[in-house]
Chain A
């Protein structure tokens, strides 16, 4: 679905949510839950944690929508990613020491959680994940948002509260850094 179509669909569903339509919120969940889970899972060390934070993201966004008396100024998905990212940051702040970001069970996790049957895909994903967790958080975020979830530069800029130019530079640097880490392995 093209970005504009997604935004239009979101607006329609959000106005139905505002009118108390439970099914509309369900549809938003159906569309975004796998993406939010994926985003969080790539950044945290366990599936259970990713699941908890994903659920928390939706609860938090519901609370946010309830409080709003006027239309939200950014896209719903942008907001959702911002909430998810903040929850990850909060989680690590609460821990007394930094969790190991490279988790042992990611390969095992992939066995039941990868669409498609290609061994090569599984190896690629594992390789990219290993490189991703070595680069800084901002770089991880923009790589996932821009290349994996295909958000636009303006959307990413709103999430990160940066200018579009700054986001473009960030994407360029993030990709270069990731590439360096991937080439190290080779």
Chain B
């Protein structure tokens, strides 16, 4: 009986076309309420601080704000949330990608930008796993893979910037990325196998893209391993007999830090010549 319940529950996964949902919503609301815009909406547009575009100097901001106004006047939260489930080839997919870029434009903090890039990588991976069910849409599948590769590069770039500013936060974010990488790897490998089965002679270009994605994923993994090891290598301080503090690194794999500490130690110790001079 459990099997039957599981099968029945799977009916919950049936969904309408996202574009139809949005169109019908607009149609219904205009039928019901006519052409009159509610007072709240009118005020929202006029009160928007950057309504006068001549005041915006950066083209990126102009594009982003135009998009925000268009999206907010075109439909409400329903449209934005509907676009989240869209896939390459869908009408709303452009809205989804533009919204992602807009989010990134308005995020300045490196840790937040890394987290956003991870979120978008998750989106691309989710799209990939859905798109491989439609192997005939080879170009759209390639888009998701290339999109994922771009996000991996973005994650690496942001983590490198964050590493320079705040290694502790970089390690924290690296752990988040580390948790995702096995999932990405498995999905890419399984997807590759599946596509090899359904598109035996046709998928060379796609295979190259998947290999590229795996390569960037490996680079991301290496970087996260490096960042998390830096954070987890404990350093103990003790006072040696001469009163100098000596940093002892507990055995680990952190040879770089060991080198820098030994240089530091050397600088603290007077040379024999200097000792002789004093004497």
Contact = CB atoms under 8 A, between A and B. Distances in A.
Interface of A: 20-23, 25-27, 29-30, 33-34, 37-38, 41-42, 47, 50-51, 54-55, 58-59, 62, 110-117, 119, 121-122, 124-125, 127-129, 143-144, 147-148, 175, 178-179, 182
B81 A51 contact: no
Interface residues of B, number: 37
A58 B134 CA distance: 33
Given A33-B16, A33-B21, A112-B17, A26 B9 contact: no
Interface stretch (B26-34, B240-248, B271-279): B26-34
Chain A binding site: helix, strand, loop or mixed by DSSP? Answer: helix
A164 B5 CA distance: 22
Contacts of B85: 115
B78 A113 contact: no
A112 B91 CA distance: 13
B17 A147 contact: no
B13 A115 contact: yes
Contacts of A38: 11-12, 14-16
Interface of B: 1, 4-17, 20-21, 24-25, 27-29, 31-33, 38, 40, 76-78, 81, 85, 129-130, 132-134
Contacts of B76: 23, 26
Name the residue in B12, B13, B132 with the highest tally of chain A Cβ atoms < 10 Å from its Cβ: B13
A178 B134 CA distance: 30
Leading 10 A-B pairs by shortest Cβ distance? A30-B78, A37-B16, A117-B129, A124-B7, A115-B13, A124-B10, A148-B11, A147-B8, A38-B14, A22-B33
Contacts of A116: 13, 130
Contacts of A122: 133
Contacts of A20: 38
Contacts of A29: 24-25, 28-29, 78
